[in-house]
Chain A
Amino acid sequence: MENVTQALQGVPLNHYILLSAIIFAIGVIGVLIRRNAIVIFMSIELMLNAVNLLLTAFSVHHNDASGQIFVFFIMALAAAEVAVGLAIIVMIFRNTNSTDVNILNKLKW
């Protein structure tokens, strides 16, 4: 474990920040341009995982465990969100036979 921590600290912090920012941006772009509810959902998970990665990197950098605890909270709540979110998508699929968000246009002025 000691070696792993040292190896992780060998990588400059900026690289982690850059990597996480890029993954986060891919997630945001995915949410904005994809039209399938499940793919949008996966993009959101990508955003959350970018955050997890960055939190772990910061946690090692500061030598402080609270960042890693936060990662557990994010994972737990992301799992809860998946349960509810997939249920909602299944409910919509039952009514419309599609997971395309473009058909969701009933609510307009």
Chain B
Amino acid sequence: MSSLITLSILAILVLYLGLYKAKNALLPATLLGLAGALVLAVLEWNGGAQPIYSGMMLFDNFAIAFTTICIFSTMLILLISKDYFESISEHVAEYYTLILFSLAGILVMVSYHNLTMLFIGVEIMSVSLYILAGIRKDDFKSNEAALKYFLMGAFSTGFLLFGITLLYGATGTFDLTQIRDYVIANPTGISPLFYTGITLLIIGLCFKVGAAPFHFWTPDVYEGSPTLITAFMSTVVKTAGFAAFLRLFLMCFAPLHDFWMPALLVISLLTLFVGNVTALYQHSFKRMLAFSSISHVGYMLFAIVALGVNSSNSVFIYATAYSIASIVAFAVLILVKRQTGADNFDSFNGLAKKNPFIAFTLTVAMLSLAGIPLTAGFIGKFMMFSTALAEYHIWLVILAVLNAVIGIFYYLRVIVAMYFKGAERNEIQSSSYFNFVLGFSALITVVIGVYPGFISSLF
């Protein structure tokens, strides 16, 4: 809880720093504040959490784990933002503030104990992101991304709200525990309003996390937004969306598994195929990453399809592996784009000769996203598949493995371009911030891949 307060105060503080033209203090102050929030969150681990503020929020281990990974990923992203915002505009402090406010919304999303807070958290996060997506005011692509994101975000909020309202109509409460008690107390006589409400909530949440067939806005928004914001949206925001999704289903709807499971099963498979097959045909690395993020949503949905005690753990590991690998991919993309001005696969040609370190970290990240053993991505996929197998979804796993094979093709394309295609290019000058983020993330990816024990039994 104290980390949420810290973040909100920090965001306002950063605005004041911008007001007094303390440009050099922005990044250190933000990182320091984030580190403080991270420590405060970790300190509450196993603290015997009780619902606070009249049952509005619950800072349990689930919330703390996802808070930690979200703050950590944001810190990595802000480290590579050095000199990035300055090149877009002179109002740098506002960007940091918006990212921090969005992060505050994310903290509410992962720790809600009342559907009101779910709605408020989603909105705090989204409203900041609409602005961030449109940061480049003169760039038409960025404008388009902002409008599409805004219209789709507001549209899906409508579905989310209608779903919440119908749940309220059936149960007379917004509290997660009381909704669960209602479901348990009426095993046969559940009102049809409740079922309609669950369906609308699934639609709304699938829009938010970008699952097919509600994914069509994702590639456009991810491609049009500035790369750093795309990195934030496809890692931190996606993790938070899944945490909110999972929290609701674990706490409230688990007894109604038979009702919503078939729908989510179909959505999950559709997401996998749409994401992977479309990613194969992309020429732009950034757009490929957008489709790959859709396909990873499909894998993460497994945990909700096969809801059980291991679900939160497997989503946590998968989200960690995916976030860290994606941050590396986007960091390298920023470097390459700064040099060549393009983001297609050909601009990676011959990178390994000139920048062996950058090429190596990108290789580790790509292998992790593809799910090759000895990387974190493999552990994530392994946990997901074993969760699904425990619930006897054998066909689901077979089709998912098929998709993982398709995935290897397009992830390897960039590795092939870096190592086996020659091209005249100059060495990329990367700052020490970039080198630190790349090296550190690659290290974490490998460490989780080799010693998964310390993270795989958190809950």
Contact = CB atoms under 8 A, between A and B. Distances in A.
Contacts of B219: 107, 109
A32 to B, nearest CB: 9
Contact of B147 (A27, A54, A88): A88
Q: Name the prevailing secondary structure of the A interface residues.
A: helix
Contacts of B282: 109
A47 B162 contact: yes
B151 A91 contact: no
Given A74-B161, A106-B141, A106-B144, A44 B154 contact: yes
- For A31, A44, A89, the residue with the greatest tally of chain B CB atoms inside 10 Å of its CB is A44
Nearest to A59: B168
B138 interface: yes
Interface string B142-185: 01111110110011011001101110110011100000000000
Interface string A45-58: 00110110011001
Contacts of A108: 220
Contacts of A101: 147, 151
B169 A54 contact: yes
Given A64-B172, A104-B144, A88 B130 contact: yes
Given A48-B161, A73-B119, A109-B281, A17 B169 contact: yes
A51 B158 contact: yes
Contacts of A40: 151
B224 interface: yes
A77 interface: yes
Interface in A6-30: 13, 17, 24, 27-28
A40 B155 CA distance: 9
B354 interface: no
A37 B165 CA distance: 27
A91 B162 contact: no
Contacts of B256: none
Contact of B151 (A44, A64, A70): A44
B144 A107 contact: yes
Interface string A90-102: 0110011000010
Nearest to A62: B172
B169 A58 contact: yes
Given A88-B130, A106-B141, A81 B165 contact: no
Interface in A30-88: 31, 37, 40-41, 44, 47-48, 50-51, 54-55, 58, 61-62, 64, 66-67, 69-70, 73-74, 77, 80-81, 84-85, 87-88
Contacts of A70: 116, 119, 164, 168, 174
B150 A84 contact: yes
Contact of B162 (A50, A69, A96, A109): A50
Given A73-B120, A74-B161, A88-B146, A81 B154 contact: yes
A95 B140 contact: yes
Contacts of A28: 158
Interface in B110-153: 116, 119-120, 123, 127, 130-131, 134, 137-138, 140-141, 143-148, 150-151
Contacts of B172: 58, 62, 64
B245 to A, nearest CB: 20
A50 B200 CA distance: 14
Nearest to A71: B165
Given A51-B165, A70-B164, A104-B148, 13 more contacts: A17-B193, A27-B158, A40-B151, A44-B155, A47-B161, A48-B157, A48-B158, A73-B116, A84-B131, A88-B147, A95-B138, A107-B219, A109-B282
11 contacts: A51-B162, A54-B165, A58-B168, A64-B172, A70-B119, A70-B168, A73-B120, A88-B146, A92-B143, A95-B140, A107-B219
Q: When A and B form their complex, which 7 residue pairs have the shortest distance between CB atoms, in order from nearest?
A: A47-B158, A62-B172, A107-B220, A58-B169, A51-B161, A77-B123, A104-B144
